[in-house]
Amino acid sequence: GGGGDAYGSSMSQSQTFSIIVLPVNDAPVFTLLESSISVYQQYGSITKKLVEGISPGPQDEFGQNLSFTLMKLTGLQNFFTSTPCIDLNGFITFSRIPGAFGQANWSIQLHDSGGELNGGIPMTQKTFSFFLYGTPSSVFDTSIQYGNSEAFIIWRHVDLPLSTSKISYNAATSFTVSLHECRDSCILTSMVQVNLQACSDYCNISYVANAGIAYSVSIIAQNDVGQSGATTTSIFVPDLSTKVDYISVHSAEMTIGSDLTVIISNFPRIPTNEIMIRIENTYRVSKIAAYDYAEATSTMPSKTTIAFSVPPWDTAQCVNISISDIQNPNKLIVFQFEFYENSIPRISYFFPTMGSTSGGQSLRVSVINVFGCTQNLSDWTLSFGGVRSTLSSCVQVSPDEVLLTAIVPAKPNVQVESNIQGVLGFKSTYSMSLQFVYTPPCDYNQFCSMTNANFMPNQYLLQSDRLESLACDVKYCLDARRFPPPVVISFSPTAGSTKGGDVLELALESDTLLSFSLTNETGIQVSYNSVVQSSTMVQSSMFTIVSFIAPAYHSDCCCGRNRSCIISFDVFDILPRRGFSVHYEYIAPIDGPPVILNVYPGCTKVHLDSCTSSAVLTSQSFEIVIDLENFPMVEEGNEEYVNIQFNLDPSASFVVVSSTRATTKLQISCVAPVATGNYSGVIWYRGYLLSD
């Protein structure tokens, strides 16, 4: 630089140039709500909110198009019927294949349309995982081992230490062993829960089975997802005790005697001449008419049939008849036999021999040596412990036998099982006695819940096994945890007026309703704000329909004019742990005419000073936009319910721009008339008042 003298300058001439800032595409952004999705039971299409905060980037990129793609990174199985997808609202949708379980890792990519020019970044990627949990596999290698008085039930499972591999996503956590006692039919008698931790190389339980009865055993593995198929086996403990199975007759007229046949289980196989039969230890039967022995099998004990004659007896009395081996006279089979006088009425048999202290059972009493019975029953009386019974009929079944029917009276003061003597009187001359066993009925509602908080009475079994269920027995309780919750098929309608009164119908899968299948009563309870609603139930082979009336809605906090709010009806099977909720929308009825909030161009009659200053040219097509409040929401397809009368153009048409329960926006298309002036019109919804 030369400095600033009179002939020079310290500054060059100015130059101009441009700086061009090139746009660079910023990466799109989104936020994962969770890093994994766990699916326990659902099959078929599943939708879940996974992503939020979806944006193409800074504000100057808001016009870009966005799209999601998903790509499987790792996974040993094909878990889905098609590739999962995510929409721009952040919801992921996938369809799980039944039976699939395991872990799969996926990448989720958000793409924009900004491109890569000048180093732009058009994609953001994150990863997440699917955890699909499945039901456990079935047990195997079941076997039964017998001890002195117990049967040991043994099984294996892939999740026991004996297995060489472990399965993570369908591992069993426990096993349920159900035992059914099988006579004419099989009924549930016991359920045992075994935790996986209680097993070593094998699982096993012991069960004291009644001898001579077959049991069906079912073993199910389970976890939080569900349960495996049942593996079945059976138990049979032979009854090796010596006992009388059959006696052909139990009594005889004292002057005649009778032929008698007896069948005995597990009697020793000995020659006929070594069998000793005695009456009252004083009279020995000298001749055995027939003798037969049947060998024991795996399911049946040995059977010995002995036929002999009972001689006449001196007195009318009950005697003991004993049968033994001459070599072991102290090992006796003893049963009673009655000798009676032919002229005296006597009870041949009665049934049942036991009942509840609540009474009400029908009792049948057979009386022999009675020649004819009166229809008015005036010759008969029957009482139990001094309490009179009601006799209902008397039928002559043979020349000397009648069959009485009566109602067992209640004995509420009997607190423990007791033998109560009954007295049957005939013509105030003869008195006959019988012993009836009164048993206080078990309160199974209390007993089951006290045994286990998850237990409930098995009403079906209690009704079919009424006599045997008088004493409390856990076999008449069911474990509620072993049954799935009710499955909702449909609920309709899902909305209605706050005035209530609509009939609501809830369709449920029939085979999941434990309470309804066990009782003849309505097993579903519907409540709103803890108030139980009256309901009815109709069951078919596939569905159970529960109907109830929507109550009126009362609240100061919402559901104001032309507004709505959503509430929940709580639905319970009779088990408290088997509940769910269904949502219902209350809509406040419209009160009074609609209100026009805004008209453009134009104004409402009540606000003429608000008319727009821009006039509409005559003979020209134009559009009017109207904003309405307190106007019914116009559902898609229901435009025909909206009516307009416009003297400016009688053939004017309209479209619904938008409609909510708060406001409705209409756009009217019309042609201005030739003459100038102010024009008016009305618009209304069918069934409601007209508005200006």
Asked if 314 and 405 sit in the same domain, the reply is: no
Q: Of 104, 132, 160, which closes a domain?
A: 132
Tell me whether residue 292 is in a domain.
Answer: yes
- With 60 as the cut, is the pLDDT of residue 559 above it? no
Confidence of residue 203 (pLDDT cuts 50, 70, 90): very high
Asked if 216 and 301 sit in the same domain, the reply is: no
H/E stretch holding 463 reads: helix 459-464
- With 50 as the cut, is the pLDDT of residue 356 above it? yes
The rounded distance, in Å, linking the Cα atoms of 525 and 575 is 10
In Å, what is the CA distance from 640 to each residue of 101, 207, 636, 686, 692? 51, 73, 10, 9, 19
Tell me whether residue 541 is in a domain.
Answer: yes
Mean pLDDT over residues 603-629, rounded? 72
Asked if 359 and 434 sit in the same domain, the reply is: yes
Any idea which of 197-201, 290-294, 521-525 has the lowest mean pLDDT? 521-525
The rounded distance, in Å, linking the Cα atoms of 90 and 546 is 36
Tell me whether residue 11 is in a domain.
Answer: no
The rounded distance, in Å, linking the Cα atoms of 275 and 267 is 10
- With 70 as the cut, is the pLDDT of residue 440 above it? yes
- With 70 as the cut, is the pLDDT of residue 266 above it? yes
Any idea which of 6-20, 210-224, 241-255 has the lowest mean pLDDT? 6-20
DSSP 638-661: -GGGEEEEETT-TT-EEEEEEE-S
pLDDT given at position 518: 45
pLDDT given at position 612: 56
Confidence of residue 41 (pLDDT cuts 50, 70, 90): low
Mean pLDDT over residues 37-43, rounded? 74
Per-range mean pLDDT, top range of 168-182, 462-476, 626-640: 168-182
Any idea which of 110-124, 145-159, 400-414, 567-581 has the lowest mean pLDDT? 567-581
The rounded distance, in Å, linking the Cα atoms of 47 and 100 is 18
Asked if 372 and 389 sit in the same domain, the reply is: yes
Structural domain harbouring 208: 140-236
Token output for 546:
């529960």
Mean pLDDT over residues 112-134, rounded? 91
Asked if 154 and 192 sit in the same domain, the reply is: yes
Q: What percent of the chain has pLDDT over 90?
A: 23
Convert the pLDDT of each residue in 407-419 to its tens digit. 999 998 888 888 8
Asked if 538 and 609 sit in the same domain, the reply is: no
Confidence of residue 2 (pLDDT cuts 50, 70, 90): low
Higher pLDDT, 452 or 395: 395
Mean pLDDT over residues 28-32, rounded? 95
pLDDT given at position 586: 82
pLDDT given at position 163: 56
Entry pTM: 0.44
Q: Of 236, 268, 287, which closes a domain?
A: 236
Asked if 634 and 676 sit in the same domain, the reply is: yes
pLDDT given at position 291: 87
pLDDT given at position 510: 59
Tell me whether residue 3 is in a domain.
Answer: no
Tell me whether residue 44 is in a domain.
Answer: yes
pLDDT given at position 296: 80
Confidence of residue 557 (pLDDT cuts 50, 70, 90): very low
Tell me whether residue 390 is in a domain.
Answer: yes
- Residue 253 exposure: Cα atoms within 13 Å on the Cβ side: 8
pLDDT given at position 466: 59
CATH number for the domain that contains residue 610 = 2.60.40
Per-range mean pLDDT, top range of 157-166, 281-290, 386-395: 386-395
- With 50 as the cut, is the pLDDT of residue 558 above it? no
pLDDT given at position 128: 93
Q: Of 384, 415, 439, which closes a domain?
A: 439
Radius of gyration of the chain (CA): 44
Asked if 36 and 72 sit in the same domain, the reply is: yes
Token output for 198:
């209680």
Mean pLDDT over residues 94-105, rounded? 84
pLDDT given at position 609: 60
Any idea which of 22-31, 185-194, 285-294 has the lowest mean pLDDT? 185-194
Give yes or no for a contact between 186 and 213, defined as CB atoms under 8 angstroms apart. no
pLDDT given at position 561: 44
The closest of 601, 691, 677 to 643, measured between CA atoms, is: 691
CATH number for the domain that contains residue 332 = 2.60.40.10
Place of tokens 């409402």: 604
Mean pLDDT over residues 50-54, rounded? 93
Q: What percent of the chain has pLDDT over 70?
A: 84
Tell me whether residue 186 is in a domain.
Answer: yes
Any idea which of 169-178, 425-434, 463-472 has the lowest mean pLDDT? 463-472
Asked if 390 and 326 sit in the same domain, the reply is: no
The closest of 383, 409, 410, 405 to 395, measured between CA atoms, is: 405
Asked if 548 and 559 sit in the same domain, the reply is: yes
Mean pLDDT over residues 124-132, rounded? 92
Tell me whether residue 52 is in a domain.
Answer: yes
The closest of 453, 365, 366, 470 to 411, measured between CA atoms, is: 470
Look at the alpha carbons of 506, 509, 513, 517 in this order and tell me if their dihedral is positive or negative.
Answer: positive
Asked if 477 and 541 sit in the same domain, the reply is: no
Asked if 57 and 127 sit in the same domain, the reply is: yes
Give yes or no for a contact between 275 and 285, defined as CB atoms under 8 angstroms apart. no
DSSP E strands in 399-459: the ranges are 401-407, 418-426, 430-439, 455-457
Structural domains counted in the chain: 7
Q: What is the mean pLDDT of the chain?
A: 82
pLDDT given at position 346: 86
In Å, what is the CA distance from 610 to each residue of 179, 603, 613, 618, 622? 84, 6, 9, 21, 19
Confidence of residue 467 (pLDDT cuts 50, 70, 90): low
pLDDT given at position 8: 64
Mean pLDDT over residues 23-40, rounded? 90
pLDDT given at position 142: 93
- With 50 as the cut, is the pLDDT of residue 75 above it? yes
Any idea which of 321-330, 422-431, 551-560 has the lowest mean pLDDT? 551-560
